[in-house]
Amino acid sequence: ELKVEQNPLFLSMQEGKNYTIYCNYSTTSDRLYWYRQDPGKSLESLFVLLSNGAVKQEGRLMASLDTKARLSTLHITAAVHDLSATYFCAGQLRDDKIIFGKGTRLHILP
Amino acid sequence: GAGVSQSPSNKVTEKGKDVELRCDPISGHTALYWYRQSLGQGLEFLIYFQGNSAPDKSGLPSDRFSAERTGGSVSTLTIQRTQQEDSAVYLCASRIGRTPHIYFGEGSWLTVV
């Protein structure tokens, strides 16, 4: 059974700083997803990582995947207040079940 | 609209009543997922439909929960004899086959009083 663990679960950071959210998963996962959720809203897809060494970037966010370490990271560069949200990672099993982590609540202080 | 549509958006029900939550996926999307998100928590997998294959029901928390998908399109999640711990947002998502991009609906907020 796939278990997905994120850390930290809560992160408060200053604008302009860099930080990384970590996503560990317990067993082979075909794909690794990152989503953003704003309060009271649904999930918005950020990245889908398909293979070992995959790196994707969008604005101040960059996601990477290391399948050997069963680790994905979401790196935030020079954070701005608009990035305050909850970020989820999720892994996909070969039977297509998608399992989510508990989420990281990111609060960026001005 | 072009997105995943869920109804009702909000539902308040009395403990012990049955509720039905509906998901209308994007047209042509063969895969459909249901998740439950309790307040401030992550997403808990409930059930997965893919085309005409038997659904993966392994996430349904008890036999009070069931779901069906008619004609490979609309899905209904039914919760019988609701309990207060069933209060949560129920999210539906769909995609084409096994393609990477999965689209979520806005969710149905269920409150059991």
Q: Cβ separation of B43 and A95 shorter than 8 Å?
A: no
8 Å CB contact between B17 and B82: yes
Task: Name B112's bridge partners.
Answer: B13
SS3 state of residue A82: helix
Q: Taking residues A77-101, report their average pLDDT.
A: 93
Alpha-carbon torsion angle B53, A88, B44, B22, nearest 10:
-60
Task: Give the pLDDT of residue A83.
Answer: 96
Task: Give the pLDDT of residue B80.
Answer: 98
Q: Taking residues B63-85, report their average pLDDT.
A: 95
Place B13 in a pLDDT band, splitting at 50, 70 and 90: very high
Task: Give the pLDDT of residue B100.
Answer: 84
Task: Give the pLDDT of residue A95.
Answer: 81
d(CA B8, CA A65): 37
Task: Give the pLDDT of residue A30.
Answer: 77
pLDDT-above-90 percentage for chain B: 83
Task: Give the pLDDT of residue B1.
Answer: 53
> In chain B, what residues touch A9 (CB-CB under 8 Å)?
none
Q: Taking residues B55-81, report their average pLDDT.
A: 94
Q: Residue A47's CB: how many other CB atoms inside 10 A?
A: 23
8 Å CB contact between B45 and B35: yes
Average pLDDT, chain A: 93
Range with the poorest average pLDDT among A8-12, A20-24, A50-54: A50-54
Place A103 in a pLDDT band, splitting at 50, 70 and 90: very high
Distances B72 to A102, B37, B55, B108 between C-alpha atoms, Å: 30, 24, 11, 21
User: Is residue B102 predicted with pLDDT exceeding 60?
Assistant: yes
Name the phi and psi angles at B22, rounded to 5: -115, 145
Task: Give the pLDDT of residue A1.
Answer: 83
Task: Name A20's bridge partners.
Answer: A75
List the 40-99 stretch of B: residues with Cβ below 8 A of A.
Answer: 41-45, 48, 50, 56, 58-59, 91, 93, 98
Element (H, E) at A59: none
Place A21 in a pLDDT band, splitting at 50, 70 and 90: very high
SS3 state of residue A31: strand
pLDDT-above-70 percentage for chain A: 100
Q: Taking residues B17-42, report their average pLDDT.
A: 94
Which residue do the tokens 């996926």 mark?
B25
Tell which of A30, A42, A56 to mutate to test the B interface (max B CBs under 10 Å). A42
Distances A86 to A9, A46, B35 between C-alpha atoms, Å: 9, 12, 17
Q: Is the Cβ of B103 closer than 8 Å to some Cβ of chain A? A: yes
How many helices and strands in chain B, by DSSP H and E?
A: 0, 10
SS3 state of residue A76: strand
